[in-house]
Amino acid sequence: MTANDGHPDLEGRHILLGVTGGIAAYKSVELVRLLKKAGADVQVLMTPDAGRFITPLTLGTVSERPVLTEIFVDGDEGSWTRHISLGRWAALFVIAPATAQTLAKLAHGFSDNMLTATALAARCPLLICPAMDHDMFVHPATQKNLEVLADLGYTVMPPAYGSLASGLVGQGRLPEPESIRDAVVDMLGDRAHGESLAGQRVLVTAGPTREHIDPVRYISNPSSGKMGFALAAAAARRGADVTLVTGPTHLPTPSGVTRVDVESAEQMHSSVMEHRGADIIIMAAAVADYSPIDTSTQKMKKHDGDVALQLRRTPDILSELGARRSDDQILVGFAMETDDGLAHAREKLDEKNVDWIVLNTLTDEGAGFGVDTNRVTLISRLGEEEELPLMSKRRVAEAILDRLRFDATKPAA
């Protein structure tokens, strides 16, 4: 191999490749070859069943490292914590092919072999490439496991459509090794342009707020927090010092992010004000606009007839940040509109004195609350408007951060 074969995002990077027991395991040989050719250092981990499809000798030879399968090896007393050190060694963990069985184990935190234990210990991003028969892939149990994995922050590369080992045709084929290599480059590349936010303090808010009426009832909204969490994760990947102030969500904390959990708009306001010295503030939280004037400490008894609830405005956190901002701070707000979105978003830029508004429209399919994808329009105080296509919230987060690098977003002196 000559130095010219290398890829800048893969050169010298440590990659774990997990191979599980499916017919597509034979493609992992080519994948190892491509990653090695691009300059990566590849350690293969196999599940015990993968050895029925491809030999450790083959993968050990192409990767130039002994393949690991079991956590406990007879006569090898000193190395049982190797799954922990490997989990820290890797810049990326790719599992290709990932069988339905391994997906289920990963979704539920099983650690019964070297591959699953290392996945649990890994601090790096995971790229999971499922491959199985079509019927197994579309089964609700598998789909649910994939949702769990996406919620855990794993990247799932969907299987391709085509003829399957069973003789049937459908979705379930492992993508070609070149496509998996490209996805690896993509993921490691995100980290490579990460340097751009090194030394910057970034504050992100996420999720809904809950405004309690009594201990068991509250006013809230369906925000899942996914967009804000994706932003915090992306900023951390780029080397920023990230604080994430979040309302109630079930999402795991992205690695390298300092998380502050709050419940109400009032609590979010206090926490944001504590951190308002950040260089970049992105308010992705869906903050409740109104809160009950009286909150009962006991559960309110129901009576015959109607009841009226008196609400007061919550503090508009973003407006306050805009009023108290410094010139070199970057402020980003979100807007979710059901009608005349662009006009409202433009007004919001001025009213709240922010640099960017990210507009998402509730009527767009695949965009908005709860889903993993989003379709947004970015609007800047300098009059730029950019409508982005439907893409994953992870990509939307990257796109937003890419825009913030331009000095042109700074307010005029």
Closest distance to ligand C5P from the beta carbon of 359 (Å): 10
Q: Which CB sits closer to ligand C5P, 237 or 348?
A: 348
The whole-angstrom separation of Cα 59 and Cα 55 is 7
210 three-class SS: coil
Of residues 286, 318, 315, the one with CA closest to residue 221: 286
How far apart, in Å, are the Cα atoms of 245 and each of 144, 263, 306, 318?
Answer: 28, 10, 36, 13
Q: Which CB sits closer to ligand C5P, 25 or 359?
A: 359
Closest distance to ligand C5P from the beta carbon of 182 (Å): 34
Stretch that binds ligand C5P, among 24-32, 91-99, 249-257, 315-323 (CB under 6 A): 315-323
Closest distance to ligand C5P from the beta carbon of 136 (Å): 41
Quick check: is 221 catalytic?
A: yes
Q: Which CB sits closer to ligand C5P, 59 or 331?
A: 331
Q: Which CB sits closer to ligand C5P, 154 or 356?
A: 356
Q: Which residues pair with 77 in a beta bridge?
A: none
- 159 binds ligand C5P, rule: CB under 6 A: no
- 208 binds ligand C5P, rule: CB under 6 A: no
Task: Output DSSP code: residue 277.
Answer: T
Mark residues 31-50: x for contact with ligand C5P by CB under 6 A, - for none: --------------------
Q: Give CA angle at 20 (107, 147), nearest 5°.
A: 25
Which residue matches tokens 């034979």? 26
The whole-angstrom separation of Cα 266 and Cα 281 is 18
Of residues 269, 253, 250, the one with CA closest to residue 211: 269
Stretch that binds ligand C5P, among 3-11, 152-160, 218-226, 310-318 (CB under 6 A): 310-318
Question: Strand pairing of 257-261 and 126-130?
Answer: unpaired
Whether the CB-CB separation of 173 and 160 falls below 8 Å is answered with: yes
Closest distance to ligand C5P from the beta carbon of 168 (Å): 48
The whole-angstrom separation of Cα 262 and Cα 293 is 19
Mark residues 324-363: x for contact with ligand C5P by CB under 6 A, - for none: ---------xxx------------x---------------
- 23 binds ligand C5P, rule: CB under 6 A: no
The whole-angstrom separation of Cα 232 and Cα 236 is 6
Catalytic residue among 113, 221, 360, 374: 221
Q: What is the dihedral of CA 102, 105, 106, 107, to 10 degrees?
A: 120
Mark residues 246-285: x for contact with ligand C5P by CB under 6 A, - for none: -------------------x-----------------x-x
Closest distance to ligand C5P from the beta carbon of 368 (Å): 13
Q: Which CB sits closer to ligand C5P, 188 or 287?
A: 287
Among 155, 246, 314, 353, binds ligand C5P (CB under 6 A): 314
Question: What tokens does 169 get?
Answer: 């045709």
Residues contacting residue 276 through CB under 8 Å, at least 6 positions apart: 203, 321, 324
Positions touching ligand C5P (CB under 6 A) are 265, 283, 285, 287, 289, 314, 316-318, 333-335, 348
What residues act catalytically?
A: 221
